[in-house]
Each structure stands twice: as structure tokens, then as C-alpha cells.
């Protein structure tokens, strides 16, 4: 097994370094967010700090992996799939244009279905049910638990 620090390993190291730098910028900006009242259990900075921590762990993990992985061969990389990319772009465009008229839950469900299709899933109803459930949970978490309304729509207006 070849364990030298090839140009591919080097680029992985620098990607990890960039992710770590992004985590640093996010930490700096999160520290500037004003805090709520002294009695608030969960403040407005809890999620940004969690994302910052996860990005830092990801960046460090990428850097460590690039140092210890074998030099990849040309056979290690898959082929570019325009079909999968098309499904991803379709999902993002549907989400962009349908989130205002139909709401977060429906738009996010369609995005999930298109993303699952991009990864090769052919079970449309299962993917729609999973996407709907995740979007509904996310909506309820933001709307009911955090008190942050993330838009209205066909389903959201029923609550």
C-alpha cells in the first residue's frame, strides 16, 4: 500500500483546512450574535455553535484522513453522472420556486424525493413519506419549540 503524501492527499488536506477556517469564521460570527435574556434555556446561538463544532470536527477529520490514506488510483473515482446532477438541480429549483406558494413542508419533501432519486432510489412513495415526515418534524421544531415561523403554506396553515 502506497502511503506517500500525493497531490490528491495534499488537496484533501487543504480542503480540510478550508473547512476548519470556515468553522473559525462561523465561530467568530456566532460570538457576535447578541444573547437573549438571562433566563433563556436555549439562546439564538445554540445551533450556530453546534454547526461550528461539527464543521471543526469535519475539517480536522479530513486533514487527518488525508495524511493517513493511501494514494488513490484512477480506479477509485466514479464517473460523472449527469443524470444524478439533473435530479439534484431539479430538486433545488423546485424547492426555490415552490417554497413560497406551497410552503416549507411540501417544497422540502419534493427536494428530498429528488435527492433520493439522484442517489439511485426508485421508491418514490417511500421517499416522499420519509421526506414529508422529516420536513414536518423540522417545521414543528422551528415553529413550536423555537417559536420561529419558517413560512406558511398549504400544510403549515393547518397548524
Which sequence spans correspond to the domains of the chain?
A: 3-68, 82-158
For the entire predicted model, the pTM comes to 0.57
Which residues have CB under 8 Å from 77's CB, separation 6+?
A: none
Quickly count helices (H) and strands (E) in the chain.
5, 0
Quickly count: other Cβ atoms within 10 Å of residue 53's Cβ: 13
Average pLDDT, integer, range 39-66: 85
Report the C-alpha gap between 159 and 145 in whole angstroms.
14
Whether the predicted pLDDT of 78 surpasses 80: no
Whether the predicted pLDDT of 25 surpasses 90: yes
pLDDT tens for 88-117 read 999 999 999 999 899 889 999 999 999 999
Report the C-alpha gap between 36 and 7 in whole angstroms.
47
Q: Return the CA Rg of the chain.
A: 20
Report the C-alpha gap between 78 and 32 in whole angstroms.
42
CA distances to 8, 21, 23, 131, 148 from 13, rounded to whole Å, are 9, 12, 15, 34, 38
pLDDT for the residue 146: 75
CA distances to 22, 23, 146 from 115, rounded to whole Å, are 25, 26, 27
Put residue 69 in one of left, alpha, beta given phi > 0 → left and psi -120 to 50 → alpha: beta
Whether the predicted pLDDT of 133 surpasses 70: yes
Amino acid at each position: 500500500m502506497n502511503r506517500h503524501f500525493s497531490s490528491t492527499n495534499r488537496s484533501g488536506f487543504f480542503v480540510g483546512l478550508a473547512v476548519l477556517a470556515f468553522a473559525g469564521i462561523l465561530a467568530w460570527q456566532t460570538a457576535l450574535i447578541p444573547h437573549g435574556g438571562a433566563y433563556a434555556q436555549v439562546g439564538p446561538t445554540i445551533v450556530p455553535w453546534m454547526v461550528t463544532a461539527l464543521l471543526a470536527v469535519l475539517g480536522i477529520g479530513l486533514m487527518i484522513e488525508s495524511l493517513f490514506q493511501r494514494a488513490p488510483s484512477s480506479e477509485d473515482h466514479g464517473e460523472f453522472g449527469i443524470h444524478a446532477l439533473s435530479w439534484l438541480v431539479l430538486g433545488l429549483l423546485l424547492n426555490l420556486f415552490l417554497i413560497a406558494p406551497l410552503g416549507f413542508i411540501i417544497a422540502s419533501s419534493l427536494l428530498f424525493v429528488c435527492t433520493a432519486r439522484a442517489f439511485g432510489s426508485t421508491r418514490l412513495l417511500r421517499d416522499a413519506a420519509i421526506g414529508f415526515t422529516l420536513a414536518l418534524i423540522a417545521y414543528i421544531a422551528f415553529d413550536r419549540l423555537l417559536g420561529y415561523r419558517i413560512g406558511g403554506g398549504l400544510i403549515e396553515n393547518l397548524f
